[in-house]
Structure 1
Amino acid sequence: MKGWLAWGEIVPAGETITRNRINYVNFNQLRSFYAVARELSFTKAAELLCIGQPTVTTQVKALEETYNLQLFVRGPSDLTLTDAGEALLTVARQIFSLEERAHSLLNTVGNQFAGRLHIGTVGPFFVMKQLSKYIDRYPLMHVTVESANSDSIYQKLLNYEVDVGIIGSDYSDPRLDLVCLGKHEVVIAVPVSHPWAHRSQVNIEELDGQRLIMREKGSMTRRALEEVLAANSIRPNVVMELPRDSVLEATAAGLGLGIISNFEFSRDQRLRTLSIARYSPCTRSFAACLKERRTLPSIDAFMKMSSELVAQSLDADCSNNKS
């Protein structure tokens, strides 16, 4: 007989049985590898998995020994993936994405979802309306939010580190499913004591040589302004590069002119904002997820909700224009 043995079947002496063998990887070892590869830290991986660090170390070492491969280069103060480790991480992401899909399916109760949704956003302003509606509709979901610039959130999406991203570019990436949330003008913030504070606009030429407080690299707000400056051969004096919230504080302290999206600017008695005449550099915001993960009910629901809110906003604008 060829193939699988029936239960209790005895193989005659001298007879060879050909099996359709199923290869497998120890799942606990692979999970530990995946956690360490994501965090590039055995300590953080142990915290993520809620197990002891020695267990994580033992499991990763056993995986390496089983296949006679080095998956990590262990330096005195850091940890990096080898080429084999990078290749395995790509496969592990797909495996644990499917496991997450199964987990989401099993935790679906009627039309309710129970589980976690991790959102990365370029700023809290862009996501709060969606979050409010999402939590009201799906109270069993636990939502976490982290803020960073667009490039960082984009990479976290690709690495499965966030489920949904609110980003400032579509990155021309066919792997992404996108909902355009809106268009936002980039403006100049000045202290109320500044000579320009009574104005509503500033000419692009006036920014030449001015002390500017820029957003950090990877920010779409910064990129939009830099394109306009370069096109007009304007060279400001960039004195600081800061995250969004710090830009406003540094501007209020008189350290320079701040660069920010008008959508992000909340009323601040210490500051005034000016448009850039004739150019009005703009950014766009998008809700984004990986297309391969859109089938997860929790992610799909957030994306659909984002589309609904955009449609409602457009309807409201049309009504206001008619009146």
Structure 2
Amino acid sequence: MNLFQLRAFDAVVREGSFTRAAERLCISQPAVTGHVKALEEHYQVRLLRRSARQVEPTELGRSLAAISHQLFALAEKAEDLLDTSQALEAGRLDLAADSPHLVMPLLARMRERYPGVAINLRLGNTQETLAALNGERVDLALVSDIPPRTGLHLMPLGATRLCLLLPAGHPWVGRRKALALNELRGQVLLQREPGSLTRRTFERACAAQELELRAALELNSREAVIEAVAAGLGVSILYAQEVPRDPRVAALPLKGEGLESRHFLACLDSYAALRVVKAFYEVAGDQVPGLPSPPAPLPEG
């Protein structure tokens, strides 16, 4: 088997794109296409379904990807083992995060300590971040409210709480110190998309109080939410650490249970031994006092 062809196929499945696979492998997009085509023609099989918008593995492709992911993870481990006597002066870290406000300070510390490591950051909502982690498209992820399971290494990074974001001229600003969820009845509510942790946490808290609050407008990013609130379109829900320093908006704490989310640094077993992953865990451990630096496996069950 031609490993160059297999690596090109593996990269396309990880990235979901021939273009991004080429960037990952530092070769041209036609070269990636040629490698995958040669692999399919040699074995007279179809491994990928191509469309104008996306590339997806066939059933056979998914089975092959499960093997190739393990194969190249082992190759990276072997390379890492051979480099253990050297300082971490080079390398690449693929990282996904559902909170830019939490991940950016960690990236700054990582860059300060290991300036030779190239970092590729993917930002998305919690579902997208989990998909990147579970699909082995990244080495590790900063993700919120992830359930523990065997084969997953978790480091807690703390918790954040939801608050209400309002236009600066709203009557509550300067008059109220905190609000209960039921006081939001009658307000024009702006919400994030269904895959957003912000929305899921808020709706879960409302459900616990048997409170139904429907969104008047749905927006697919926190930046869009902030701009919509600043424009006076309504009020919205945001994590306290995400409130911008913007005179057009103000924030009020929300009272009640179930309005917090816990944040974790997570990686799969197959990546926990990589030096660059261990280095990032060490950086995160330094940022969060009292936590162990290296990832530790969860107990069975």
- TM-score of the superposed pair, with normalisation by structure 2: 0.86
In structure 1, distance between residues paired with 2:55 and 2:94:
25
In structure 1, distance between residues paired with 2:134 and 2:194:
19
Report the alpha carbon displacement of residue 54 of structure 1 after superposing the two structures with TM.
4.2
Count of residues in correspondence between the two structures: 289
| Letter paired with 1:148 | G
Q: What residue ranges of structure 2 are gaps of 5+ in the alignment?
A: 292-301
Tell me: higher relative CO, structure 1 or 2? Use CA pairs within 8 A at least 6 residues apart. Answer: 2
Tell me if the contact between 2:154 and 2:264 (Cα under 8 Å) persists in the aligned partners: yes
Report the alpha carbon displacement of residue 28 of structure 1 after superposing the two structures with TM.
1.3
In the alignment, does 2:278 pair up with 1:300? yes
In the alignment, does 2:241 pair up with 1:271? no
1:120 is paired with a residue whose SS is strand
In structure 1, distance between residues paired with 2:283 and 2:158:
15
1:197 is paired with a residue whose SS is coil
In the alignment, does 2:259 pair up with 1:281? yes
| Letter paired with 1:279 | E
1:121-164 Cα shifts (integer Å, max 9, x gaps): 12221023322322222222122322111121111112222222
Report the alpha carbon displacement of residue 211 of structure 1 after superposing the two structures with TM.
1.8
In structure 2, distance between residues paired with 1:125 and 1:269:
19
In structure 1, distance between residues paired with 2:135 and 2:115:
27
In structure 1, distance between residues paired with 2:18 and 2:250:
48
Tell me if the contact between 2:16 and 2:55 (Cα under 8 Å) persists in the aligned partners: yes
Q: Give the aligned partner of residue 11 of structure 1.
A: none
Q: Structure 1's 270 and 95: CA in aligned 2 closer, same or farther, altered over 3 A?
A: same
| Letter paired with 2:148 | S
In the alignment, does 2:282 pair up with 1:309? no
Q: Give the aligned partner of residue 232 of structure 2.
A: 254
Q: Structure 1's 74 and 167: CA in aligned 2 closer, same or farther, altered over 3 A?
A: closer
Match of 2:63 among 87, 93, 99: 87
Q: Structure 1's 209 and 302: CA in aligned 2 closer, same or farther, altered over 3 A?
A: same
Tell me if the contact between 1:211 and 1:236 (Cα under 8 Å) persists in the aligned partners: no
Report the alpha carbon displacement of residue 51 of structure 1 after superposing the two structures with TM.
3.6
In structure 2, distance between residues paired with 1:228 and 1:295:
38
Q: Structure 1's 59 and 146: CA in aligned 2 closer, same or farther, altered over 3 A?
A: closer
In structure 1, distance between residues paired with 2:119 and 2:54:
31
- TM-score of the superposed pair, with normalisation by structure 1: 0.81
1:180-220 Cα shifts (integer Å, max 9, x gaps): 11111101110111111121212221223432222222222
Q: Give the aligned partner of residue 141 of structure 1.
A: 117
| Letter paired with 2:219 | E
Once superposed, what is the RMSD of the aligned Cα atoms? 2.3
In structure 2, distance between residues paired with 1:37 and 1:180:
30
In structure 2, distance between residues paired with 1:43 and 1:310:
37
Report the alpha carbon displacement of residue 231 of structure 1 after superposing the two structures with TM.
2.0
In structure 1, distance between residues paired with 2:121 and 2:49:
32
Q: Give the aligned partner of residue 298 of structure 2.
A: none
2:289 is paired with a residue whose SS is helix
| Letter paired with 1:36 | V
In structure 2, distance between residues paired with 1:70 and 1:180:
42
Q: Give the aligned partner of residue 189 of structure 2.
A: 212
Q: What residue ranges of structure 1 are gaps of 5+ in the alignment?
A: 1-24, 314-323
Match of 1:97 among 69, 73, 80: 73
Q: Is 102-111 or 249-258 further displaced after alignment?
A: 102-111
Tell me if the contact between 2:14 and 2:136 (Cα under 8 Å) persists in the aligned partners: no
| Letter paired with 1:164 | L
1:237-284 Cα shifts (integer Å, max 9, x gaps): 311233122211111111111211012223322222112223361111
In structure 2, distance between residues paired with 1:49 and 1:71:
19
In structure 1, distance between residues paired with 2:167 and 2:86:
53
In the alignment, does 2:208 pair up with 1:234? no
2:94 is paired with a residue whose SS is strand
- 4+ residue runs of structure 1 moved beyond 6 angstroms? none
Report the alpha carbon displacement of residue 43 of structure 1 after superposing the two structures with TM.
4.3
Q: Structure 1's 114 and 50: CA in aligned 2 closer, same or farther, altered over 3 A?
A: closer
Tell me if the contact between 1:108 and 1:114 (Cα under 8 Å) persists in the aligned partners: no
In structure 1, distance between residues paired with 2:249 and 2:258:
19
Q: Give the aligned partner of residue 160 of structure 1.
A: 136
In structure 1, distance between residues paired with 2:141 and 2:241:
18
Q: Give the aligned partner of residue 172 of structure 2.
A: 196
Percent of pairs with identical residues: 36
Tell me if the contact between 1:113 and 1:298 (Cα under 8 Å) persists in the aligned partners: no
